[in-house]
Amino acid sequence: MLLKASPALSLLSSGGGDQFPPSRNSSNLLFPSRACRGSTFSVRAAKGTNKSLTGIVFEPFEEVKKEMDLVPSTPLVSLARHKFADDSESAINDQINVEYNVSYIYHALYAYFDRDNVGLKGFAKFFNDSSLEERGHAEKFMEYQNKRGGRVKLQSILMPFSEFDHEEKGDALYAMELALSLEKLTNEKLLKLQSVGVKNNDVQLVDFVESEFLGEQVEAIKKISEYVAQLRRIGKGHGVWHFDQMLLHEEDGVPVLRAALPRRERACRLRAALTRRERGTMFAMPIHRDAIDNRIELELLKWGMNYEPPAPLLLIGGDEDYLPIVMELVN
């Protein structure tokens, strides 16, 4: 806030003449000037005013009067609404509808993969979690709408498909590509909402969208993009089941197999592990190449072995189809 001097206040220089002649309704106070000997300056205050020179530049009771006049008195009008444009309110309602529609599609995907004749529990879990996440986003926008004094207006939701099998790609790859497209579409809608906030100079709406959603959306797009790339490598065969198990146990903290080391180095690590037998019990088992980079515990159950984490996995070379695995259960 800037403090503007009243027209009745002025500085007078006695040496240079009276540039501002005294008013009839004013009184002068003369002060000697330290800079120039024999010079004085005066502060002239207008008569008839009750304001004192206190140095205060913010007078809340005066400035709040205009805000008091804007406080609504009718019970149907929001008391919290402040600098919240109508098109911002409408854009938030549109985004709520986007989040609910995406959640509905993910819920349909969950129901498809949970069928007894599909039986991919990992995909079902992934899409059910995704559906709940999108619904949580919608509820977060609803909460923010109410916080800013807007009105939540729920719009209609389209009925999603119930069949997601694809003759060429298979259901797993097709569903994950659909999820990637939905995440990119949601990102576009969020950017549009952010631009509405910028247009209306609504810094609070822009901060809410950027801090709560945009960064998370980039992470989701990256994650599902990797899933699509991996499923394209796998194809429609046996690897889909192992990928499904990876999704099913994604948050269980189970170690995965890695086959990135050259065969010679893998053999050297095996020999080094064999010299440390006293640290734990060694198990050797063959595992199919399709299971590499996926969870190991189900393979252990097939061979009648107990799984006890933590379990460092050592991979050595084998024939074309199967790779021997040596696992040391650390005590």
Q: Which residues are annotated as a binding site for Fe cation?
A: 99, 134, 137, 183, 217
- Where are the extended beta strands (E) located within the chain? 11-13, 26-32, 40-46, 280-288, 313-315, 322-330
Closest CA to 106 of 224, 236, 268, 259: 224
Residues comprising the binding site? 99, 134, 137, 183, 217
List the 26-32 sheet strands across, edge first.
Answer: 11-13, 40-46, 26-32
- Tokens at residue 50, please? 């009750």
Residue 327 · residue 314 · CB < 8 Å: yes
Rounded Cα–Cα distance for residues 277 and 326 (Å): 12
Beta partners for 308? none
State residue 75 phi and psi, 5-degree precision: -70, -15
Residue 89 · residue 200 · CB < 8 Å: no
